Chains A and B, each alone.
Chain A
Amino acid sequence: MAGSIYRRPIAFAVLATAVILVGSIVTMAYPMLRPEMHPKVDGLKPLGALELAGRDLYQREGCVNCHTQTIRPLRSEVVRYRGNRAQEPSGQYSLAGEFAYDHPFLWGSKRTGPDLAFEGWLKSAAWHSAHFADPQAVVPRSNMPRYAFLKDAKLDGVELQAHMRALRVVGVPYTDADLAAAPGAVAGKTELDGLVAYVLSLGKAVERGGGGAGGVDLEAPNPVAGKPEAIRKGFELFAANGCNACHGDEAEGQEEVAPSLVDDAFGGEKGDLPDAAYFAMIKGGSDAKKALGRAGLPDGGMQAFGSELSEEDIWSIVAWLRAKQAHEAGEGEHEREHR
């Protein structure tokens, strides 16, 4: 009896199909019926028009082949991508509910470059624009290809509307107003603008910024000013926390990425501010700009380090910056003397 199946091809094919379907139904089809496969974090909004255009480009250029977009609940990973700044403990890693409007998911399978799931909290538009145009100029020995050509192509608002309509069919709640506003939102924007906007939208559905600057007391003195061990520690912390990635190894700044921290300007304006202003910027990130009354770079995006550095750590970095500043100024005078 059992052997006769090998003499009846149609029955054999039907049986083989049924056998294949068991696992498919239990692990693929049945979960779709469960709400845990369709969660949504509070306040999740579909991507804006410019960000959506950027996501289409992220797909077109195959970014997913080298970059993942999911932070696993592993301590080392949470720390690396600064999920530890999240307000809620659950926000430290990627949550299912963040991806409810991702058609398809873009988690990837290979991390040739870093994960981008929290990128919206990590870098500035200025950094990304400079990096896309010439990655090796910003990150020496990086193996990322150049995407300067994205600067030359303009985004197409009408095509974008068609994309939004298709997304509406699969369940993304774009309104008629969203559609109508799309061409205006991308008018005059380049493909690079779109891609940068998309990357900066990643991980933003959950609060992971580390909390604002709070009040700034410009009178507060630096308790470790001038102390040699604090200066040494500040230098180590500057490199260990990746400050050099944007501000340069010697805090001299990078053109169109991040300002110099050792010149006599602050927040894009001439005239330095006291130590407490530096302290506030490191602790609270760009949020401190308003309190300090300085605009900074238009695309600038200083991260907040308040939740991972102690106050003493931050003061040490400021102490090192001051020492560095004095050194630079000294060299300048030195040169003048010899001229």
Chain B
Amino acid sequence: MNDYRYDHQTVQGFTLSAIFWGVVGIVLGLLISVQLWLPAANLPPYLTYGRLRAVHTNGLALGLGGGAIFGLSYWIVMRLCRRPLVFPRLARVHLWLFNAGIAAAALTLLAGHTQSLEYAELEWPVDIAVVVIWVMFAVNVFATVVKRREEQMYVALWYVIATVVAVTVLYLVNNLAVPAGPLKSYHLFAGVNSANVQWWYGHNIVGFLLTTPILAMFYYFLPKSTGLPVYSHRLSMVSFWSLIFAYLWTGAHHLVYTPLPDWIQTLAIVFTLFLVAPSWGSVVNGYYTVGQDWSKMRSSYLTKFFVLGITFYGLQTVQGPTQALRVVSQLVHFTDWVPGHVHMGTMGWVTLTVCASIYHVIPRIHRTEIYSERIANVHFWLVLVGQLLFSITMWITGIRQGWMWKATDAEGRLVYRNFMDTVLGNYPYWHTRTLAGIVFTAGMLLFVYNVLMTIRKGKALQARAAAATQAAASAA
């Protein structure tokens, strides 16, 4: 057995922080879903849709996503390097700064301090904090990997390393701005150029926060929790390099039909189509891994989280290239189709994989089993139903509204001249989305309960064990 101690406290700290910010972000998501059909649910000035949406997206991408990435990457890095972190105290400071940073992000966004760049809303002082937090992570990851006690780096480590370098490049470039006050700045880039830099960032920050680190978790925790080796190492290699190569060309598919030069749009569309291949490399690898023994779906409760997670990743990475095509983009761009697409990735792929990884890690930290597999199963089904209901309703109403915007009669006149006529049809779907959110939130609250009860159970066992040793010692 290993005779060194892993830094489990920090991993658990990040995991619980991620859960906390996740609950905040999900509840805010529920609130803004209500605001879309009930304007009276906006409470100006702070609690309006315009300000809260950024708190929702940042809270989940940076709070839940960031916390899970830091905590679970530390776990993966320590295991795959067979050693504790090189700088355990730095990791602890990292944990506290991370939480302070997310709190600062939430408060400044509520107060209206925003760069108006999607997923890069944070103003410059908070940006600096984010960079410091990220560098602390990078230092610990690289130092630990360099001083590892296992010669070969496993595929999960490649994805962690790619995440560290790519996010650094993306974040530094797109947040270049000139301060105009303590919490106000102007983007260094203007107009079309500003748009091009922003969507190069916007698309890839999703790629390198919600794809590559999640793939690291997938490649590590799926074999761990099923006991099945990854199907093809060669496929892992090919997918990895082609994914990180192709991703960075695709940002401009967010700008189809805008004044951005056509050649950049076309290049982005072509590479987006190509991106199906490396994405499906991981999907095929995942399926064939579990395909070695499908009975794991029954015997190990986490298997279905990973299988459904990678399935949504597969669907997401086919839908994305489809909607990048000009003919599809002109219909669904700017409609609710797009939030439907995004939430299949976040509520499906990311949530299922991150939750399964946390279910794997928490009991091992406390040397016990999960508090309740049955609750975990209910959690799985609620999240699945909530996500499907959310995405499918948004796809339907997105196509519906896109069609109404485009509808013209024989003489070229608009059939639905009044914009409100195209909005009204959204209301029943927006109601259904809130219902979907409630189902999803209920599932996630069960997850939180299950994790907390597992920790409690582990602590009680430890206390009993400690008491027993003490009793044995005093008896002797």
Q: Which residues of A contact B (CB under 8 A)?
A: 6-7, 9-10, 12-13, 16-17, 19-24, 26-28, 31-32, 34, 36-39, 56, 59-66, 68, 70, 72-77, 79-80, 94-96, 98-114, 135-136, 139-149, 159, 162-163, 165-167, 169-172, 240-242, 245
Which residue of chain B has the shortest Cβ distance to A24 in the bound complex? Answer: B248
Interface 1/0 per residue, B27-54 and A, CB below 8 Å:
0000000011111001011001111011
A220 to B166 Cα, complex, angstroms:
70
Chain B residues within 8 Å of A28, by CB: 173, 196-197, 200, 248, 251
A74 to B330, CA, bound (A): 8
User: B184 is contacted by which of A56, A68, A99 (Cβ under 8 Å)?
Assistant: A56
Measured between alpha carbons, how far is A67 from B467 in the docked complex, in Å?
63
Interface contacts beyond A73-B257, A105-B191, A165-B180: sample of 9 additional A-B pairs, CB < 8 Å, sorted by A: A13-B164, A23-B248, A59-B115, A99-B194, A99-B195, A103-B187, A112-B423, A170-B178, A242-B417
**A20 and B116 in contact, given A72-B258, A94-B259, A105-B198 (Cβ under 8 angstroms):** no
Q: Which of B35, B152, B249 has the largest count of A CB atoms less than 10 A from its CB?
A: B249
A242 to B246, CA, bound (A): 46
Contact (Cβ within 8 A) A104 B189: yes
- Is there an interface contact between B50 and A61, defined as CB atoms closer than 8 Å? yes
Interface pair B254/A61, CB less than 8 Å apart = no
Chain B residues whose C-beta falls within 8 Å of the C-beta of A141 in the assembled complex: 420, 423-424
Q: Which of A96, A142, A147, A169 has the most CB of B within 10 A?
A: A96
Contacts of A100 in B (CB 8 A): 190-191
B249:A27 contact, CB within 8 angstroms: yes
Could you list some 22 contacts between A and B, CB below 8 A? A7-B151, A10-B146, A16-B162, A23-B271, A24-B200, A27-B200, A31-B264, A56-B184, A60-B112, A62-B54, A62-B114, A65-B49, A72-B257, A98-B191, A99-B195, A100-B191, A103-B187, A105-B190, A109-B118, A163-B181, A170-B188, A242-B418
Q: How far is the CB of B394 from chain A (nearest CB, A)?
A: 11
B 136-176 contacts with A by CB, 8 A: 142, 145-146, 148, 151-153, 158, 161-162, 164-166, 169, 173
Residue of A26, A142, A159 near B267 (CB, 8 A) is A26
Is B117 at the interface (CB under 8 A from chain A)?
yes
For the complex of A and B, list the 10 residue pairs with the smallest distance between their C-beta atoms, beginning with the closest. A62-B50, A23-B248, A99-B191, A166-B180, A145-B42, A104-B187, A23-B249, A96-B259, A111-B334, A60-B112
Contacts of B145 in A (CB 8 A): 9
Interface segment out of the listed B63-71, B84-92, B99-107, B403-411 = B403-411
Please determine whether B117 and A36 come into contact, CB atoms closer than 8 angstroms.
no
Q: Which residues of A contact B339 (CB under 8 A)?
A: 110
State whether A70 and B258 are in contact (beta carbons under 8 Å apart), knowing that A19-B241, A77-B405, A99-B191 are contacts in the complex.
yes
A27 contacts which chain B residues (CB < 8 A)? 196, 200, 248-249, 251-252, 264, 267-268
CB-based contact A104/B116 at 8 Å: yes
Contact B408 A75 (CB under 8 A): yes
> Quick check: A64 and B116 within 8 Å, CB to CB?
yes
A235 to B241, CA, bound (A): 63
In the assembly, what is the distance between CA of A331 and CA of B39, in Å? Answer: 38
Contact B200 A167 (CB under 8 A): no
Identify the interface centre among A23, A110, A146: most chain B CB within 10 Å of its CB.
A23
When distances are taken between beta carbons in the complex, the residues of chain B under 8 Å from A37 are 192-193, 196, 261
Contacts of B225 in A (CB 8 A): none
Number of A-B contacts (CB under 8 A): 268
The range of chain B's interface size is 35 or more
CB A188 to nearest CB in B, in angstroms, measures 21
User: How far is it, in angstroms, between the C-alpha of A21 and the C-alpha of B255 when the chains are bound?
Assistant: 21
What residues of B have a CB within 8 angstroms of the CB of A110 in the complex? 334-335, 338-339
Q: Contacts A27-B252, A37-B192, A37-B261 given; indicate if A16 touches B178 (C-beta within 8 A).
A: no
Contact with A along B428-471 (1 / 0, CB 8 A): 00000000000000000000000000000000000000000000
Q: How far is the CA of A10 from the CA of B192 in the complex (A)?
A: 36
With beta carbons under 8 angstroms apart, the residue of A21, A63, A103, A148 that contacts B190 is: A103
A75 with B412: CB separation less than 8 A: yes
In contact, B190 and A102 (Cβ under 8 angstroms): yes
Report the minimal beta-carbon distance from B186 to chain A, rounded to whole angstroms: 4
- Give min CB distance, B105 to chain A, whole Å: 15
Q: Does B375 contact A (CB under 8 A)?
A: no
Residues of B within 8 A of A169 (CB): 178
Task: Kindly list chain B residues whose C-beta atoms are within 8 Å of the C-beta of A77.
Answer: 405
Contact indicator B417/A162 (Cβ below 8 Å): no
A205 CA / B245 CA spacing, docked (Å): 40
Residue from the list B115, B118, B190, B245 in contact with A99, Cβ < 8 A:
B190
Are A61 and B418 within 8 A (Cβ)?
Answer: no
Q: With contacts A9-B161, A16-B162, A60-B112 known, is A23 near B247, CB below 8 A?
A: yes
CA distance A293 to B368 in the complex (A): 87
Does A163 contact B184, Cβ atoms closer than 8 Å? yes
| Residues from chain A with Cβ under 8 Å of B45 in the complex | 149
Q: Are A13 and B161 in contact (CB under 8 A)?
A: yes
A166 and B142 alpha carbons, distance in the complex (Å): 37
Judge whether B254 and A109 touch: CB under 8 Å. Answer: yes
Q: Which residue on chain B has the smallest CB distance to residue A9?
A: B145
Report the Cα distance A335→B338, complex, angstroms: 56
Q: What is the bound-complex CA distance between A306 and B459, given in angstroms? A: 78
CB distance from B232 to the nearest CB of A (A): 15
CA distance in complex: A136, B42 (Å): 13
